[in-house]
Amino acid sequence: MKFWFTRGAWASKKARKIIRSLSRDQIKKIAVIREAALGDMVLTRAFLIEARKAFPNAEITLSIISSYTRGCPEDLVDKVHIVHGHGDKASLIEKIKRIRELGSQDIIFDLATSNRSLKTCILNKAKLKIGFPYRSIQARLFYDVATCRSDLNFEVNDMLNQLHIFGVKTAYPHKYNMPGTPVKRTRPFIIYFTGASVQVKCWPEQHFSELIVQMSTKYPEHDHLVLEGILEWENEYVQKVLEPLKNIKNIFSIQANTIEDTTALIKSAALLVANDTGIRHLAIVSETPTVGIFFGDPYRYWPRYDIHEVALPEIDGPPEVAEVYAMCIKVLNIPKKPLIK
């Protein structure tokens, strides 16, 4: 193998020497470290699919933390290594022992660059350790190879750069192969998810109410479903959104209490409108069109495919209803691509 870059990435002298003695077929063990909540976790599927293609003879282990296991793509890996996470009652010795259970690898890909993932890199051996730290000093202290990471790039692209340095040709649009069977409903439908990981990321309820009224008028042949969350405050928020809409016949609330149920519902939707949240990422990996509502920087979580759009404020604050409405119309007007037989 060789490194396929001149600038824009970094490799140590040791790594440049080692790479010449390796071939992709010789790579037998790969570890991928990913510490992430649901949304970021499911985006990792694209990396794992491409890693399997690039290193066909490798056993792939995914290293995650106990506090972030929802959406873990167990179907794409051979092993899952779980280290102690937030709130686990374990001694330092127990935590170190668990980290070391990852064992020796040919390549470690660090897709987290957190304090815990850096410890995992330090405490386990590998021929090559690859990461994408924001700080250049971390590259030289903890890795043999480092690629660029930027909030201006969709994070999946930054993850895949760790494969591009080996000359791997990755798919675009990205492939996720998200499992799940779409639900069947008698009418087409649009989903609105009003929750988020924290309340400050939530679009004001009156904005959501106004948007849903406009959309239900524009698309009367569709049902307009407001997806309930799993937290009490999220469902209180849903009720505030629905209160002024209770007399409109094609607007409903809906529950989906598991990832499997949520995925099945999203896979059938004509569109998902959501805040910056993991549910939107779940729609992205399900190949469902999305409109994301952002209060700040969107590029890290905005795949630049034609079926995904984001609404941005011109200044700090929530986007206007008119902006989100326009993005919904734009995405729904994109012609569906015919299936290739």
pLDDT at 238: 92
State whether 156 and 198 are in the same domain: no
Which residues are 107's β-sheet partners?
Answer: 30, 128
Domain of residue 272, CATH code: 3.40.50.2000
Contact 309, 329 (CB under 8 A): no
pLDDT at 337: 63
Based on C-alpha coordinates, what's the Rg of the chain?
22
Compute the CA torsion angle 340, 281, 158, 133 (nearest 10 deg).
Answer: -160
Separation between Cα atoms, residue 109 and residue 131, nearest integer Å: 6
State whether 40 and 159 are in the same domain: yes
Element (H, E) at 30: strand 29-33
Amino acid at 12: S
Residue 325 lies in a domain: yes
State whether 31 and 159 are in the same domain: yes
pLDDT at 51: 98
Tell me the pLDDT tens digit for each residue of 17-34: 999 999 999 999 999 999
State whether 144 and 201 are in the same domain: no
State whether 78 and 153 are in the same domain: yes
Amino acid at 273: V
Residues of the chain with pLDDT under 50: 339-341
State whether 159 and 232 are in the same domain: no
- Taking the CA of residue 305 as centre, how many other CA atoms within 13 Å lie in the half-sphere pointing to its CB? 18
Q: How many domains does the chain have?
A: 2
pLDDT at 235: 86
Q: How far, in whole angstroms, is CA 217 from its chain's centroid?
A: 32
Residue 149 lies in a domain: yes
Q: How far, in whole angstroms, is CA 341 from its chain's centroid?
A: 30
Residue 253 lies in a domain: yes
Separation between Cα atoms, residue 88 and residue 106, nearest integer Å: 30
Separation between Cα atoms, residue 95 and residue 283, nearest integer Å: 35
Residue range of the domain that includes 307: 189-332
pLDDT at 338: 53
Q: Which of 164, 180, 207 is the last residue of a domain?
A: 164
Look up the pTM and report it. Answer: 0.93
State whether 23 and 152 are in the same domain: yes
